[in-house]
Amino acid sequence: MLDDISSMITNAEERIALLAAMGYDLTEQIKSYKERLKKCCKMLYENGQIELYQQCCNKLDLIEKFSEGEMMEKVSVIVPIYNAGEYLRPCFREYR
């Protein structure tokens, strides 16, 4: 189940990045992604997967912070950078 959740989130992120690169409107994709993250956060919390739960919550926080107006386009860049690793995640903590 853990791999299913991770791959589901990764697939959604890749789809958003691809659509952003192609210049499509991301409004509906971002809404869908946020809902998917909320569901995944709930499932991860209920199953005791705290590390992945925290990562999902952090992504959700970033999206909610940057999903207004022009900033929505940056979500397709922010989430993959967050996924890049531990050394970049502290850069986003100041925005929370």
69-83, pLDDT tens digit by residue? 555 555 555 666 556
32-62, pLDDT tens digit by residue? 888 988 998 999 999 888 888 988 888 888 8
**In what helix (H) or strand (E) does residue 24 lie, and over which residues does it extend?**
none
- For the entire predicted model, the pTM comes to 0.66
Helices (H), the chain: 2-21, 27-46, 50-66, 72-83, 89-93
